[in-house]
Amino acid sequence: MRLRWLLFIVITFLSCSPANNELNNTAIQKESLALHPGEALFNAYCNSCHNDVAMEDARLAPPMLAIKQRYQNAYTDSTTFTKAIIDFVSHPTQEKALMSNALQKFNLMLPMEYPEQDLVQIADYIAKHTFKHPSDRPLTAPIDLESMTAMEKGQYFASSTKAVLGKQLMGKIHEDGTLGALAFCNLHAVHYTDSMSIKHHVAIKRVTDRARNAENKANLAEAEIIDTWKQVLSAGKKIEPLLESNADGSFNFYAPILTNAMCLQCHGTLDDIQPEVKNALQQLYPADHATGYGSGELRGIWSIHWP
């Protein structure tokens, strides 16, 4: 029964996508039926920066095709290949990086905390999937929001906003040090979430129970989600994003914002924060509640709403 449904979905999908008509339908059906468990994880965690859609000047990172080729040259069997990917992503350092041009152009990949078992799936997906080169796509290929489920849309909005903010922050820390980056966050963080909102016609907020900027304070509903998710984290479980559909057909989507080592330069304990950064924070935010965090804690949530 389930198989029949899947087939139905695959066939319906194929019939809406004219480019595939030329291809061998049986082969595609086989491939689509066996969706790799790492695919959704890759799309949620990596695709916002490593996609094959963004053209050269809009890129945040090298496309995965280029990374895969570089890693396959360096690591010829599949075990060392996946191990090297997992090793880099768990802890990106300049020494481990193979792609010196990318390093120069984009700066070192931001450290992010992913569960080990997710990375295993993602690395295996990268090893098996045939990635496209951006130039294989039409120049204007938009991300096809229409064909996404509401959950996928929410994840896309959250991860692309995070990617833009993360890139700017990372770049500023490299260029101007933590103090310079602080001035940037103070002036521009709100502006960036705004520009993403305008681009996608959705309301994107970054809210918290312990605000630095009082405008980012969670409302009651959001505060409840934060409380629940803190319990999930302290039970050692993984937080799943939350989608609510409203009676008027609109959606609310929530996803966690977790700290990593880099965040502690400005959100860590008073010992983690450099004295001059501490001073600047005291001046800019006399009522700052956003220090004292460790790595891997819930700093806040994305709260996203669209009609």
Q: Is 216 one of the binding residues for ligand HEC (CB under 6 A)?
A: yes
Q: Report how far residue 72's alpha carbon sits from residue 81's, in angstroms, rounded to the nearest whole number.
A: 7
Which amino acid, one-letter code, is at 115?
P
* Nearest to 127, CA basis, from 64, 52, 43, 53: 64
Q: Is 151 one of the binding residues for ligand HEC (CB under 6 A)?
A: no
Please tell me the total number of residues recorded for the chain in this structure: 307
Kindly state the number of chain residues that form the binding site for ligand HEC, as judged by CB under 6 A: 52
Q: Is 44 one of the binding residues for ligand HEC (CB under 6 A)?
A: no
- Kindly state the smallest distance separating residue 106's Cβ from ligand HEC, in Å: 4
Q: Is 127 one of the binding residues for ligand HEC (CB under 6 A)?
A: no
Q: Report how far residue 205's alpha carbon sits from residue 260's, in angstroms, rounded to the nearest whole number.
A: 20
- Residue 169 token pair: 């922050």
Which residues 6+ apart lie within 8 Å of 51 measured at CB? 63, 64
Q: Which CB, 161 or 252, lies closer to ligand HEC? A: 161
Q: Report how far residue 92's alpha carbon sits from residue 71's, in angstroms, rounded to the nearest whole number.
A: 15
Q: Is 122 one of the binding residues for ligand HEC (CB under 6 A)?
A: yes
Which residues 6+ apart lie within 8 Å of 110 measured at CB? 92, 166, 167, 170, 260, 262
* Binding residue (CB under 6 A) for ligand HEC from 158, 243, 266, 304: 266
- Kindly state the smallest distance separating residue 290's Cβ from ligand HEC, in Å: 4
CB of 10 closer than 8 Å to CB of 33: yes
Q: Is 280 one of the binding residues for ligand HEC (CB under 6 A)?
A: no
Q: Which CB, 10 or 124, lies closer to ligand HEC? A: 124
Judged by CB under 6 A, the stretch of 3-11, 13-21, 166-174, 231-239 that binds ligand HEC is: 166-174
CB of 162 closer than 8 Å to CB of 265: no
Q: Is 206 one of the binding residues for ligand HEC (CB under 6 A)?
A: yes
Residues 83-102 that bind ligand HEC (CB under 6 A): 85, 88-89, 92, 97-99, 102
CB of 243 closer than 8 Å to CB of 158: no
- Kindly state the smallest distance separating residue 141's Cβ from ligand HEC, in Å: 20
Which amino acid, one-letter code, is at 250?
S
CB of 84 closer than 8 Å to CB of 75: yes
Q: Is 49 one of the binding residues for ligand HEC (CB under 6 A)?
A: yes
Which residues 6+ apart lie within 8 Å of 196 measured at CB? 157, 160, 161, 164, 204
Which amino acid, one-letter code, is at 46?
C
Residues 242-261 that bind ligand HEC (CB under 6 A): 257, 259-260
* Nearest to 213, CA basis, from 300, 275, 125, 287: 287
- In the chain, DSSP finds a helix count (H) and a strand count (E) of 12, 4
- Kindly state the smallest distance separating residue 130's Cβ from ligand HEC, in Å: 16
- Kindly state the smallest distance separating residue 249's Cβ from ligand HEC, in Å: 29
Q: Which CB, 17 or 276, lies closer to ligand HEC? A: 276
What does the per-residue mask of binding to ligand HEC show for 176-195, with x meaning CB under 6 A? --x--xx--xx--xx-----
Q: Is 202 one of the binding residues for ligand HEC (CB under 6 A)?
A: no
Instruction: Enumerate binding residues for ligand HEC (CB under 6 A).
Output: 45-46, 48-50, 60-62, 67, 85, 88-89, 92, 97-99, 102-103, 106, 108-110, 114, 122, 163, 166-167, 169, 178, 181-182, 185-186, 189-190, 206, 208, 211-213, 216, 257, 259-260, 262-263, 265-267, 290, 299-300
